[in-house]
Structure 1
Amino acid sequence: MSTALLSLLQLADPTLPIGGYAHSAGLETYVQQGIVNNTATAKSFVTEMLTRNLQYTDAAFVSLAFDAAMEQDSLKIIALDHECSAVKLPMEIRQASQKLGIRLSKIFQPVCTNTMADEYRAAIETKTATGHYCIVYGLYAAALGINKKDALSGFYYNAAVGFITNSVKLIPLGQQDGQEILFSLQPLISQLVENTLVPDKDLIGLCCTGFDISCMQHEQLYSRLYMS
């Protein structure tokens, strides 16, 4: 029996101890402004984040990092890391990506020996790279023998769970409401996975400006429960 499925479940586990629960990706701003305030607006937020943001940023970098890892192209990994830093304009989001990536690397480095991941870790330690979560995820997905489609499915699912969990806490919503939103997103996630298998490199960094602005405004909120 292959352990790839079990590896994917661990890699994409929303409860993995890397601190993901501490980041709302600008949702806290929208909630305080009264823009996201019920089940319908929460679903809209999650849908738009997955479709108009992650598809062209983090998920695309997962896909490209996976390809680079399979090709044993360490220089490409570093280039993707730099590009990822460049497209993350809000400081909190950029720092969150780096913190989560480094923590994810610390979890899997002792249990998964891989040359590409080790080289990336060395680049982080020498400040040649910053260690974004999506790059680390793509690297270890390849190293653990997870196929690309499953890896992307896990990545989108992880992101959706995070957004929904934060919506349940912040608005607040009922737990059942959150689960119904998550279930309803399955067709969308499946389509996004197909879209991201071969990302259009000309669209990397395309996002909704409103999301970036909400993340920047989050830095100045009077009271905050989340780090981003």
Structure 2
Amino acid sequence: MATYDRIGATYGRTRRPDSRIAARIHEALGDAGTVVNVGAGTGSYEPPNTVWAIEPSSVMIAQRPEASAPALEASAESIPLADDSADAVMALLTVHHWNDLEAGVAELRRIARRRVVVLTWDQTVFRGFWLLAEYLPEVAAFDGTRAVPIGRLVALLGGARVEAVPVPHDCTDGFGAAFWRRPEAYLDPHVRAGISMLALTGEDVLGPGLARLADDLSTGRWHERHADLLQREALDVGYRLLVADL
């Protein structure tokens, strides 16, 4: 069973694309006339010229908007498309779920004529995020087992430009660090269900750390400790865009 057949039921509600992040992704795609989205999920950030979406989870495919690109239920490691199927291929917050990274990246390069765009995170930065560092070290340890080192990914892509993607304080896409200035959101089980690092860790493991967070919020300790964050409009938590020209 695909991971998101188990945890992906809320993604259509909690993972709404953020327009500012969308602008960065679409800029990275450049003037590509056709795009394939691999690990497409519910279709967030797909530009209008997306011709195919590749997604292994039927639960995620069922949440795709009616007018979105046609989806093929398939894995990144074995994409049922011909060589050079699109000008550009994008893979957003997905490579850490792949069973065979080398095979998956080879497939991205095979079906792309000109460019591959990958959105991922740099674990060396992300593990310092206050939620993990102060409350949920178990999640940091879990993420460390599945995070793909940026250097390894760049090498597999045959070279790539690496760009930081700061997260807006009011980000509408509820991924892992989206609520860095809205800490109370992490106490909402519906929000946690849409964040794979939390959903896959499990509520029993998260419980003690979330209880400490709730207490720190009720007493004001969190706000005192992170007063500097409350003045920030965006924060670099480690998310990175990799842009590889073939």
With the length of structure 2 as denominator, give the TM-score of the two structures. Answer: 0.28
As a proportion of its length, which structure holds more strand? 2
Structure with larger RCO (C-alpha < 8 A, sep 6+): 1
TM-score normalised by the chain length of structure 1: 0.30
